């Protein structure tokens, strides 16, 4: 059966056909590195990891590009708030992201471009947009001229008023139109900046993905993905920039995942319900989190709960028992393959796996798990890990180390946050007079 995918641009499922036979290019918007990734950020990572594995199986030659946004106002704010240098903030959080996503069984992308490594390409794209009459300079800023591109809004399907409201755009005096968005903006001496034809400044967010996708995949390319919130304004703006700068199609298939909520609520700082992957890994094996993230269809909302993860853990216990001792099998069971080919229907694939487990088909379960990135450990390691796995302990030690560093830096708020995080996971810390810290489970 052929792979079908729901294309946001066409608002329907389509049979996937790569531009070049047997070769696929995929670009997924990656993290802005200023803080721990939360479990919502992990959803696109797992969804596109499943797609990547499926494409690799069907096409062999897949180039998966996922960027790192390492210049952004949120990074500047984080650095100002804590006093930690920007380079240190981005390096530390990028490393944490890599560790956390690996723990979820996500394969690393083939290319992981950093925005700060592609400033020259962004400047070049902006210069082309100005030359083509699609952008203008005003008071050190360069803005995209939305009125110059009538199809603007085609991806998100929003009308002009909705776009202005949705983008929460600033009505700035230097803008010709409130819908115009920033390609380049000036930096003061304390902010990161690069020399440009418009003075020292930094790029807007959207231009980085236009420049980096073109550099690493060419234009057009096959698949562009990310969370649904990116449809507007981020992807709408990328699309406008890329089409106007280069006068060719940009992306063939736009794929967007739905949002994750926690116990029925949107995660937010004000509700205090942001669950980081890092803290969840103290409580649960990464594979159980991965299966939880695959339990809803990727376009549907997913309500995350600890009970859901416990259930996923039980499912994996059962599957590990059935698959124990079976060698790695060949063919993916047809029911599982058909489910994934149908717009990545992971809940259906999981139902098929339950049926394989019920039938005692360990080999089939292994073959399906290979494709889905599950059952990666030996049964022995898995069941050992359930009680007090090395992975869990390593995370706890790691958090204790970070707490010590925070205290040494006299950042007591951060230190307390880590202690509270561990307490919430049932880990009690005891500080000895010599400065060392012991931990135990409640
Ligand atoms: P950010 O670092 O904020 O740009 O987000 C990184 C990725 O996570 C983007 O693809 C977002 O769409 C996605 N994302 C953020 N929050 C959620 C959520 N609650 N559920 C699903 N995806 C999310
Ligand atoms: Zn992007």
Does the beta carbon of 32 lie inside 6 Å of ligand 1? yes
Does the beta carbon of 41 lie inside 6 Å of ligand 1? yes
CA–CA dist 44, 56 (Å, integer): 18
Tokens of 335: 């029911």
Does the beta carbon of 255 lie inside 6 Å of ligand 1? no
Do residues 65 and 26 make contact, with C-beta atoms less than 8 angstroms apart? Answer: yes
Tokens of 99: 């560790």
Tokens 């007591």 identify what position?
412
Q: How far is the CA of 227 from the centre of ligand 1 (A)?
A: 5
Ligand nearest to the CA of 231: 1
Pocket test for ligand 1, best of 90, 229, 260, 297 (most atoms within 8 A of CB): 229
Listed residue (239, 298, 389, 286) closest to 54, CA to CA:
298
DSSP letters, 18-39, are -SBTTEEEEEE---BSSSPPBH
- Which pLDDT score is estimated for 351? 98
Do residues 287 and 376 make contact, with C-beta atoms less than 8 angstroms apart? Answer: yes
Specify the pairing of strand 437-441 against strand 427-431: antiparallel
Q: Is 4 left (phi over 0), alpha (psi -120 to 50) or beta?
A: beta
Q: What is the mean pLDDT of each run of 10 residues along the chain (442 residues)?
A: 94 98 96 97 98 95 98 96 96 97 98 98 98 96 97 91 70 87 96 97 97 98 98 97 98 98 94 95 96 98 97 97 85 96 98 97 95 93 66 75 83 83 82 84 78
Atom of ligand 1 nearest to the CA of 37: 2
Does the beta carbon of 225 lie inside 6 Å of ligand 1? no
Ligand nearest to the CA of 226: 1
Q: How far is the CA of 34 from the centre of ligand 1 (A)?
A: 14
pTM of the entire predicted model: 0.88
CA–CA dist 387, 211 (Å, integer): 47
DSSP letters, 328-396, are PPSSPPHHHHHHHHBT--HHHHHHHHHHHHHTT-HHHHHHHHHHHT---S-HHHHHHHHHH-HHHHHHH
Judge if the upstream peptide bond of residue 72 is cis by omega within 30 degrees of 0: no
CA–CA dist 11, 358 (Å, integer): 37
Does the beta carbon of 226 lie inside 6 Å of ligand 1? yes
Q: How far is the CA of 202 from the centre of ligand 2 (A)?
A: 16
Atom of ligand 1 nearest to the CA of 258: 21
Pocket test for ligand 1, best of 41, 94, 256 (most atoms within 8 A of CB): 41
Classified as helix, coil or strand, 161 is helix
Pocket test for ligand 1, best of 39, 40, 228, 280 (most atoms within 8 A of CB): 40
Q: How far is the CA of 61 from the centre of ligand 2 (A)?
A: 23
Listed residue (339, 346, 335, 232) closest to 298, CA to CA:
346
Strand order in the sheet with 23-28: 61-66, 23-28, 221-227, 251-257
Q: How far is the CA of 228 from the centre of ligand 1 (A)?
A: 8
Specify the pairing of strand 302-304 against strand 260-262: parallel
């Amino acid at each position: 059966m052929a792979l079908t995918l729901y294309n946001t641009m066409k608002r329907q499922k389509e049979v996937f056909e790569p531009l070049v036979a047997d070769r696929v290019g995929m670009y997924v918007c990656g993290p802005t590195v200023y803080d721990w990734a939360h479990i919502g950020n992990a959803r696109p990572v797992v969804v596109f990891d499943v797609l990547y594995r499926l494409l690799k199986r069907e096409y062999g030659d897949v180039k998966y590009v996922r960027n790192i946004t390492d210049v952004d106002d949120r990074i500047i704010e984080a650095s100002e708030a804590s006093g930690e240098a920007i380079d240190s903030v981005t390096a530390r959080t990028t490393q944490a992201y890599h560790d956390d996503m690996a723990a979820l069984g996500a394969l690393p992308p083939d290319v992981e471009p950093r925005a700060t490594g592609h400033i020259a390409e962004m400047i070049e794209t902006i210069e082309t947009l100005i030359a083509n009459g699609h952008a203008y300079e005003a008071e050190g800023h360069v803005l995209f001229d939305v009125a110059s591109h009538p199809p603007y809004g085609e991806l998100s399907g929003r009308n002009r008023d909705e776009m202005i409201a949705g983008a929460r755009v600033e009505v700035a005096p230097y803008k010709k139109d409130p819908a115009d968005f920033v390609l380049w903006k000036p930096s003061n001496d304390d902010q990161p900046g690069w020399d440009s034809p418009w003075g020292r400044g930094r790029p807007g967010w959207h231009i980085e993905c236009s420049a980096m996708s073109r550099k690493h995949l060419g234009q057009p390319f096959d698949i562009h993905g990310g969370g649904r919130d990116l449809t507007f304004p981020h992807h709408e703006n990328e699309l406008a920039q890329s089409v106007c700068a280069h006068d060719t199609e940009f992306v063939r298939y736009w794929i967007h995942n739905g949002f994750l909520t926690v116990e029925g609520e949107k995660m937010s700082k004000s509700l205090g319900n942001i669950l980081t992957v890092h803290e969840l890994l103290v409580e649960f094996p990464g594979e159980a989190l991965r299966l939880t993230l695959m339990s809803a269809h990727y376009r549907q909302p997913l309500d995350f709960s600890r009970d859901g993860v416990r259930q996923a853990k039980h499912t994996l216990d059962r599957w590990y028992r059935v698959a124990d001792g079976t060698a790695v099998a060949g063919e993916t069971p047809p029911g599982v393959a058909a489910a994934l080919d149908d717009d990545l229907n992971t809940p259906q694939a999981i139902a098929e796996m339950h049926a394989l487990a019920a039938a005692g088909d360990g080999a089939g379960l292994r073959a399906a798990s290979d494709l889905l990135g599950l059952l990666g450990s030996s049964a022995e390691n898995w069941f050992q890990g359930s009680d007090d796995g090395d992975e869990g302990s390593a995370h706890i030690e790691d958090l204790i180390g970070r707490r010590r560093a925070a205290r040494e830096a006299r950042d007591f708020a951060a230190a307390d946050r880590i202690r509270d995080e561990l307490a919430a996971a049932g880990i009690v810390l005891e500080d000895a007079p010599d400065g060392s810290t012991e931990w135990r489970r409640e």
